[in-house]
Structure 1
Amino acid sequence: MADAKYDVLGIGNAIFDVLVQTDEAFLARHGMTKGSMQLIDEARATAIYGDMGVATEISGGSAANTIVGIGSLGARAAYVGKVKDDQIGKLYVHDIRAAGVAFNTPAAKDGPATGCSYILVTGDGERTMNTYLGAAQDLSPADIDPAEVAAAGIVYLEGYLWDPKNAKDAFVKAAQIAHDARRKVALTLSDSFCVDRYRDEFLDLMRKGVVDLVFANESELHSLYMTSDFDTALKQLRNDVNLGVVTRSEKGCVVISGDSVVAPPASPIDKVVDTTGAGDLFAAGFLVGLVRKVGHENAGRLGALAAAEVIQHIGARPLVSLQDLAKQQGLLV
């Protein structure tokens, strides 16, 4: 988007990931639902961390992972999220800027620590997340810079933002600024448990045109429309949003827009190691495809390529240049 300073600006909960490979017994011992994301308090965070084995610690957060992926694909990216001015917060700021992402949100001087998500990865690659929001929940409308939002071709928002009240207000403010500047607003539903909490509010955002593009996986789609029938849910999504993208793991994805339906395939992989960030990186690829105007089919393939890279290693951010990968596959020039 030639007149935009940034191709995509993401707004989300700035969360530091603590990942460990574990077994079903650990999940059972701590009463966790496999594959879910639950919000926890500081005491539970301490208990889980104390019981974890050797962990991999890396900057995360759903929208932040997407924005780093967008940068890796060679697009211009910016991020808005709240950390505290503590050791982990400083590391977080360093990581996202080192990925070539503009990040100017002032760190909190007091209040709760930088947020952390304790992610348990079982042998099948499935991830179970326990998130202490910490400073992330203090993101407020005051942190939304109207000039920065208006300068982004697409504003990308994560459903997890709907948990903290202040962040919800920041989300709505950013969407309004973006639309006033004739920009697009994208939303990822984030997690089926998140959809369960805010189903009516998400549907309201879609039906009122607050968001133009919605990303969901199959379980989130079924949760949104409270039906186990995929085709029924897809038909309803088509009525509720201008552009909808549903990821289906190894079955690829479905992209719907008006009467148009395309179903790009998944990218081949050797082995699933850790599904953390799969949806985040898919969104990165798809959004860059939109920005580059490669069409919905190739945007879906770009998303699949980015997701395939990230699920073959621990951590939710790419370890190689996604732009180089995409060029090798002929998806970007």
Structure 2
Amino acid sequence: MAQSDLDVIGVGNAIVDVLAKADDAFLATHDIPKGGMLLIDEDQARVIYDDMAPGVEVSGGSAANSIACVASLGGNGGFVGKVSADALGDIFRHDLRAMGVEFDTKPLTEGPGTGRCLINVTPDAQRSMMTFLGSAGYVAPDDIDPAQINRAAITFFEGYLFEQPVAREAFLRACEIAKENGKKTALTLSDASCVDRQIEILPDFISNNVDILLANDVEAAALFGTDDIDAMVEKARALCPLTAVTRSEKGSVLIPREGEVVYVDAYAPSSLIDTTGAGDAYAAGLLFGLARNYSLDKAGKLGSIAASEVISHFGARPSESLKDLAEKAGIL
């Protein structure tokens, strides 16, 4: 694809992540599904937050994490997401802009506060998330700037946000603009439970609007009705021009509509600390590579090395320059 002013612009939930260590007993006490994500209300968020161990608070959200990783790779990124006009919203905006990411969405001035995700990480590095969306789910078609979408090689949508009807309209608006200008769109499925809840409408949205689909193996199984990667291939080819399926330590599989399937090895992390953001980081590497017209193999390797860095420490955003790591690995 032609070089664009922005490599990737993400449309997703603007969330502040609260990360803390926990054990299985804590999860059981609060009915938190291990390794999954549940939406909660503000009262539930307050109860769980008060009982969590000391931790860290950082700007997060799946698509926003991906765009932060794009910036760390040396790319140009933008973000569309809704925060409130409050302290957490100011922190979120500052964090993204400090990385060089464009973030100009107008804040919500009435209604719920800025969203937050309570992430409890168990000793096996599994992250279990309880999310109060707050203002994050209020992304609307009016928040889509046609000029900004036109400047991006790829517009990237977060599956979590697909569940909000008004946000789906925003997705469709952005897809229309991207298609009119010959640009690409991408969607991450985000969570298998999201797929299950939206299975009646999700395949049609993908088929009609999405050029690049990203999923982990569990999410892909929920969408395609099989956990056999060979059986997935033909279904994926029929649904989307390019499908990327991540498989943790087994690496990833890139399935183009035409041509050979590409298998990409995982990069072993220096240590496995916290899997929060692994899929977000992989998406960033892959999409950055595709925006720069790299081969599927090279783009997939960028995704793998980005994911490896993110899972080697606490938190969902890189602590080292992904560009430097990719250069040392001979990918860039």
- The residue matched to 2:287 in structure 1 has which SS? helix
Matches within 5 A, 1:209-248: 210-248=209-247
In structure 1, what is the equivalent of residue 99 of structure 2? 99
Query: Match of 2:100, SS?
Result: coil
**CA distance, structure 2, for counterparts of residue 201 and residue 234 of structure 1:** 21
Equivalence map 1:68-217=2 (5 Å): 68-208=68-208, 210-217=209-216
- In structure 2, relative to structure 1, the CA distance for the partners of 1:310 and 1:3 (3 Å cut) is closer
CA deviations over 1:212-268 (Å, ceiling 9, x no partner): 000000000111122233322233112211001000000000001123201010002
Letter in 1 for 2:108: A
DSSP-derived class of the 1:53 partner: coil
Shift of 1:157: 0.5
Contact 2:7–2:292 (CA<8 Å) still a contact in 1? no
Where do 5+ consecutive residues of structure 2 fail to align? none
Alignment length (residue pairs): 331
1:291: which partner in 2? 291
Give the deviation of 1:93 after TM superposition.
Answer: 0.3
- Describe the SS at the equivalent of 1:256: strand
Corresponding residue SS for 2:129:
strand
1:67, CA displacement in angstroms? 0.5
SS of residue in 2 equivalent to 1:186: strand
The offset of 1:84, in angstroms, is 0.5
Whether the 8 Å CA contact 1:161–1:171 is kept in 2: the answer is: no
SS of the residue corresponding to residue 117 of structure 2 reads strand
Q: How far 1:278 sits from its partner (Å)?
A: 0.1
**Preserved CA contact (<8 Å) 1:68 1:99:** yes
Taking the aligned partners of 2:10 and 2:186, their CA distance within structure 1 comes to 9
Match of 2:315 in 1: 315
Kindly state the Cα deviation for residue 297 of structure 1 after the two structures are TM-superposed: 0.7
Partner of 1:251: 250
Whether the 8 Å contact between 2:17 and 2:119 is mirrored in structure 1 is yes
Query: Residue by residue, what CA displacement relative to the aligned partner does 1:33-83 show, whole Å, maximum 9, x if unpaired?
Result: 111111111111011101101021100000000001001101111100000
Give, in angstroms, the shift of residue 320 of structure 1: 1.2
1:252–1:304 Cα contact (<8 Å) kept: yes
CA distance in 2, matches of 1:232, 1:103: 40
Percent identity over the alignment?
48
Aligned to 2:130, the other structure's residue is in SS state strand
Root-mean-square deviation over aligned CA pairs: 1.1
What TM-score does the superposition give when structure 1 sets the normalisation length? 0.97
Instruction: Find the aligned partners of 1:101 and 1:319 in 2 and give their Cα distance.
Output: 17
What is the aligned partner in structure 1 of residue 33 from structure 2?
33
Q: 1:233 to 1:200 in 2, by over 3 A?
A: farther
With normalisation by structure 2, the TM-score equals 0.97
Question: Contact 2:252–2:266 at 8 Å: present in 1 too?
Answer: yes
* Number of the residue aligned with 1:47: 47
Paired with 1:207 and 1:173, the residues of 2 have a C-alpha distance of: 16
Q: C-alpha distance in 2, partners of 1:291/1:170?
A: 22
Match of 1:274 in 2: 274
What is the distance in 2 between the residues matched to 1:277 and 1:302? 15
Once the two structures are superposed, residues 119-170 of structure 1 have per-residue CA deviations (whole angstroms, 9 ceiling, x without a partner) of 1111110111111000111111111111111111110001111122211111
Question: What is the alpha-carbon distance in structure 2 between the residues aligned to residue 249 and residue 132 of structure 1?
Answer: 27
Counterpart of 2:236, as a letter, is L
Contact 2:161 2:168 (8 Å CA) reproduced:
yes
State the distance in 2 between where 1:288 and 1:139 align. 24
Counterparts of 1:32 and 1:234, CA distance in 2: 33
Asked if the contact 2:16–2:61 (Cα under 8 Å) also holds between the matched residues in 1, the reply is yes
C-alpha distance in structure 1 between counterparts of 2:317 and 2:3, whole Å: 28
The alpha-carbon deviation at position 3 of structure 1 amounts to 5.1
Superposition misfits of 4+ residues, deviation over 6 angstroms: none
Contact 2:150–2:178 (Cα < 8 Å) also in 1: yes
Q: 15-24 or 256-265, which moves further after superposition?
A: 256-265
Q: Which residue of 2 aligns with 1:324?
A: 324
1:207 CA drift (Å): 2.1
Counterparts of 1:226 and 1:3, CA distance in 2:
37
Amino acid of the structure 1 residue aligned with 2:51: D
Distance change >3 Å, CA 233–CA 3, structure 1 → 2:
closer
